[in-house]
Chains A and B, each alone.
Chain A
C-alpha cells in the first residue's frame, strides 16, 4: 500500500470516496421523485445509462464542457464562497495538501484535470465512477466512492475557483 501512495495514487484516487455499493445499471424508478422541493436532490436525475462507449474521459459526464466553463483571472469572491462550501461539505474527507485523508488531497488537481471534468465529477460522481476507467481503477485501490454532496452548479464553480487558488492561480 505504501508504495502505491505516491503521485500516481493521489492522481488515481482523485476524489474517490466512500460507500461500497456501486449503483448498478439504469435507474428506472426515479420518475415521480423529482419534485419541486429544494431538498429533493438532483443526483438521480442524471442519466446513468451504462453506455461507456461514448464516455469522454477528458470531459467526464455531466452538464459541463469547454463551452460553458471558462476560467480566467482568479475571482476572489468565488474563492471565498468555495472556501465556505469546502469547510461544510468537503474538508471532512479532503486535505488541501497532496495528502490522502478519506479521499485524496486537493493539491495539484487543477493541473491534472480539466475544469469542466472537475465540475462534472463533483456534481455527478456516481455516473462517472461507474464509467471513467481511471476512477474505476482507483476504486479498486481506495475502495471508497465520492459521495454526492448535492452541490449546485454555482457551488461546483466556486469549489473549482477555490481549488485553483489552492494550486496557486492568480
Chain B
C-alpha cells in the first residue's frame, strides 16, 4: 500500500480523489481461492441476501452473496415500467406527497428490521433523500408496503436507522430549513435565526409493520448526516453525526469546513418518550402523505395528515447532547456491545471512538464545555475512549464483526481498514477499486454480527469492467474476512449509486415468503374471479373492463364500443395460482407503462384512446408455448359513435359449427 504518496496527494488537494485513486492494477489483489469462495453452482442458492441501496435510481436491489447475483430490483421511490410501479392505478398513490405525485427519488440507506438487536427478516426500510420519505418493504413479497413523508425536513439523509427492536426508525434532516408553513418564506441569509433541524421518530408496529410519525425533535440548524441507534447497554439512545456547525448557507465546501470540530448528537429517546407522554410536545400544523399498500385489495391509498408533535431540544434540556467530533463527521457507528461510538470525520486524519459509559458519566457530572443552540456540549476528552491515529484518509463508515474488529471505509485513500475497537490499533488494510463509500458486514450493525464478509460499495469503477461509454457501472466488492487478513474475492456491478446495504442469512427471509396471492382472498373492487366474471361496463365516459389472464389467453379478447376520449380502465386479474407465473399487459399507444400482474392479483391500467382504430393488447411476460397467442383487440370508434360496448372471447370454430 503506497499510503505515503496518497497522503501527499491529499495535501495537494483532496478534491482530486475521484480520478486519482488507482492504487494498483485491476486484479493484483485477487489471490487464489477467490473463485472457490464465491462460486455458487447453477441451481444452488446463495448463503445470504444483500439489500443494496439503488441511490439515484430510487430503488432497492437485492443480490445473492457470495455470488453477487442480482435477484431483484424492488421499486420504491421511482416509477418502474418493468413492474408497472407508479403506472398502475393501484400503485400511483404510493408516490403521492404533499407536493403531488413525485415519480423519482434518491434512495440512500437500507435498514433491516430487528428483534433484540438481531435481524428478524420481516421488513427492510429505505429513505428518500430528496423529497423526504421513509419506505417500508415487506419481505414476504419483496414489495414496498408503505411510504411516509416527513414534514419540516429537507434532504432526508441520516435515515432510516432503527432501534434494536425496531421500535422506531429515525430520519434526520440533512438540510436544516425553516419549519414548514407560512413562516418558511424567509431570507436565506437568515439561516442562523430561522433554519432548524428536525429529527423524526417513526414508530413501527411489531406485528404489522405499520409506521406512524410519532414525534419530531427540533434542533439547532445544522446538517445531519448519518445516525445509529444504541444497542444493548446503550439501547434508548440514538447518535447522529452533524456538520456545518458554522451554520453557513453558501459555499459550504469552504464555509462549513472552518470549525476544527463538528458534533455527534446523542439523543436520549426514552427521555423524549417521557416528555411526549407528559404532554411537553407542541402540535404543529404541517401536511404530509402517508401511503399504504393493502395486500388484499392490491391497492394503495394515500392519507394526508395535518399535524406533528414537536419536542424542542433547546427547551427540554436532557434529550439531546452534542459531542465534539473532528471535522465533518460522516459515519457514526455503534459497535455490537453498544459501548463504543465511532465518529468518522471526512476531513479528519484520525478516528475518534467515544465511550457510552463515559458519555453517561460526563452528563451526570455536567462535564460540559458550554452550549450550542441551547444544547449542552460535552467536553471532547470526557466522552472519548480514544483515537485511531493515521488510519487512512477520508474515513466514512464503520461496520463491525463478531470478534471485536471494526472495518472502516476510506474514501480518499480508497481502502478498507480493519482495526481493533478496544485497542484502537490498525491490523489490516486492503485497497478498493475505487473511492469506497459505505461498507456492509452481514449483521454488522447488530448485536451479533454474522461476519464472514465485508462488502465495499464503490463510487468509481474505471477499468474494472468492460466500458459502457461515459458512464460506467457502480460497483460492489466482496472481501472474505474470515481470516486475519481481508481478501478480495469478487467484484459485481450495482444499479444507481449504491449507498448503504445490509445482508443476513437467506433463511431469515425465505421462510415467510409468498409465492402467490390467493385468488379467493382477492378483495380488489374490480376483481374477476374467473372468466365468467369478465365484462365491460360503461359509466358515462368511463369504461371499466374486467379482464383475466391465464396461460394462454386474455379474456375478453375482443372489445368494441370504446370511444375516443373515453377513460378506459383495464382491471386485469391474473387467474394463475402457480409460483412464478406473472402475466403482463400492454396496449398500443397507451401514454403509460405496462402492468405486471402476480398470480392471484388484480391491477389496473388507465388508457385514454386518442385515435380511432383497432388497438392490439398483449401479455408482456413470456408465459407459455402459446404466449405469443396471448393477445386481443380493442376497437376504438369516434366520440359519439353508437357502436355498442361488447366484450367477448372464444367464438371458436366449434361454437360456430354448433350454431349452424
Tell me the A residues contacting B by CB distance below 8 Å.
17-20, 28-29, 32-33, 35-41, 43-44, 87-89, 91-93, 99, 101-102, 143-145, 147-150
Q: Can you list, as one digit per residue, whether each of B138-153 has a CB less than 8 Å from chain A (1) or not (0)?
A: 0010000000000000
| A19 and B623 contact, CB distance less than 8 A | yes
Stretch at the interface among B214-222, B453-461, B515-523: B515-523
Interface contact B577-A19, CB-CB below 8 Å: no
Supposing A18-B625, A92-B531, A144-B626 touch, asked if A102 and B552 sit within 8 A by C-beta, the answer is yes
* Interface membership of B43, Cβ < 8 A: yes
From A28, A33, A44, give the contact of B511 (CB < 8 A). Answer: A33
If A99-B654, A150-B577 touch, does A20 touch B531 (CB 8 Å cutoff)? Answer: no
Listed by A's residue number, 29 A-B pairs whose Cβ atoms lie within 8 Å are: A18-B551, A18-B552, A18-B623, A18-B624, A19-B551, A19-B623, A20-B624, A20-B625, A29-B44, A29-B45, A33-B510, A35-B512, A37-B513, A39-B515, A39-B518, A40-B513, A43-B578, A44-B579, A87-B533, A89-B577, A91-B530, A92-B548, A92-B550, A102-B551, A143-B625, A143-B626, A144-B551, A144-B624, A150-B516
Contact pattern, B 522-561, Cβ under 8 Å of A = 1, otherwise 0: 0000000111110000000000000010111101000000
Closest-CB distance, A138 to chain B (whole angstroms): 13
> Which of A19, A38, A92 is most buried by chain B, counting CB atoms within 10 A of its CB?
A92
Q: From A155, which residue of chain B is reached at the shortest CB distance?
A: B520
B575 at the interface (CB under 8 A from A): yes
Closest to B520 in A: A88
B630's nearest neighbour on chain A, judged by CB, is A18
State whether A89 and B654 are in contact (beta carbons under 8 Å apart), knowing that A28-B43, A144-B624 are contacts in the complex.
no
Contacts of B275 in A (CB 8 A): none
Is B552 in contact with A87, judged by CB distance below 8 angstroms? Answer: no
Q: List 11 additional contacts besides A144-B551, A150-B577; criterion CB under 8 Å.
A: A19-B624, A33-B515, A39-B518, A41-B579, A87-B530, A88-B519, A92-B548, A101-B650, A102-B551, A143-B626, A144-B625
A18-B623, A19-B623, A41-B577 in contact; A92/B514 too (CB < 8 A)?
Answer: no
- Which residues of B have CB within 8 Å of A18? 550-552, 623-626
Q: Give me the 4 closest cross-chain CB pairs, A-B, nearest first.
A: A18-B551, A150-B577, A18-B624, A88-B530
Task: Select A19's contact among B44, B45, B516, B625, beta carbons within 8 Å.
Answer: B625
Complex CA distance for A39 and B578, rounded to whole angstroms: 11
Which of the residues B44, B513, B578 comes within 8 Å of A150, measured between beta carbons?
Answer: B578
Picked from A37, A91, A92, A149, the residue with its CB within 8 Å of the CB of B578 is: A149
Residues of chain A lying within 8 A (CB to CB) of residue B512: 35-37
Residues from chain B with a CB closer than 8 A to the CB of A145 are 624
A33-B510, A35-B511, A39-B516 known; A91+B552 contact, CB < 8 A: no
Q: When chains A and B are docked, how far (Å) is the Cα of A54 from the Cα of B553?
A: 36
Contacts of B371 in A (CB 8 A): none
Is B506 an interface position by the 8 A CB rule? yes
Known: A32-B507, A92-B548, A92-B555. A40 touches B514 (CB 8 A): yes
A33, B140: Cα distance in complex, Å = 11
Let me know if B401 is at the binding interface, CB within 8 A.
no
**Chain A residues whose CB sits within 8 angstroms of the CB of B548 once the complex forms:** 92
> A88 vs B506: C-alpha distance in the bound complex, in angstroms?
35
B517/A39 in contact, CB under 8 A: yes
Nearest CB of chain A from residue B301's CB, rounded to whole Å = 22
Q: Mark B38-49, 1 if CB is under 8 A from A, else 0.
A: 000001110000
State the total of A-B contacts with C-beta under 8 angstroms: 112
Chain A residue at minimum C-beta to C-beta distance from B532: A87
Q: Is the CB of B511 within 8 A of A147?
A: no
| Nearest CB on A from B583, distance (A) | 11
Is B110 interfacial (CB-CB < 8 Å)? no
* Distance (whole angstroms) from the CB of A83 to the closest CB of chain B: 10
B553 touches A41 (CB 8 A): no
In the complex, the answer to whether B514 meets A39 with C-beta atoms within 8 Å is yes
Bound: A32/B550 CA distance, A = 28
Instruction: Establish whether residues B579 and A32, one from each chain, have CB atoms under 8 Å apart when the complex forms.
Output: no
* A37→B551 contact, CB < 8 A: no
- When the two chains form their complex, are residues A19 and B581 in contact, meaning their CB atoms are under 8 A apart? yes
B262 within 8 A of A: no
Q: How far is the CA of A87 from the CA of B506 in the complex (A)?
A: 38
Tell me which residues across on chain B come within 8 A of A43, comparing CB atoms: 515, 578-579
Q: Which residues of A contact B514 (CB under 8 A)?
A: 37, 39-40
Contact status A37-B626, CB under 8 Å: no
Q: Are B43 and A148 touching (Cβ within 8 A)?
A: no
Q: Are B581's CB and A147's CB within 8 A?
A: yes
Distance, CA A33 to CA B624, complexed state (A): 25
- Supposing A17-B551, A87-B530 touch, asked if A37 and B581 sit within 8 A by C-beta, the answer is no
Bound complex: CA A39 to CA B654 (Å): 38
User: Does A32 contact B577, Cβ atoms closer than 8 Å?
Assistant: no
| Residue of A20, A36, A145 most packed against chain B (CB within 10 A) | A20
Q: Does any Cβ of A come within 8 Å of B576's Cβ? A: yes
**Interface 0/1 of B620-635, CB less than 8 Å to A:** 0001111000000000
A143 to B629, CA, bound (A): 13
Q: How far is the CB of B627 from chain A (nearest CB, A)?
A: 9
* Assembly CA distance A13 to B225 (angstroms): 64
Known contacts A29-B43, A88-B530, A92-B530: does B515 contact A147 (CB below 8 Å)? no
Cβ–Cβ < 8 Å partners of A87 in chain B:
529-533
CB distance from A25 to the nearest CB of B (A): 9
Chain B residue numbers with a CB within 8 Å of A17 are 551
CA distance A44 to B518 in the complex (A): 16
Shortest beta-carbon distance from A104 to chain B in Å: 13
With A37-B514, A92-B575 known as contacts, the answer to whether A102 contacts B553 (CB < 8 A) is: yes
Q: Which residue of B lies closest to A33 (CB)?
A: B510
B555 / chain A contacts, CB cutoff of 8 Å: 92
Q: Which residues of B contact A89 (CB under 8 A)?
A: 519, 530, 575, 577
Task: Give Cα A148 to B580, complex, Å.
Answer: 11
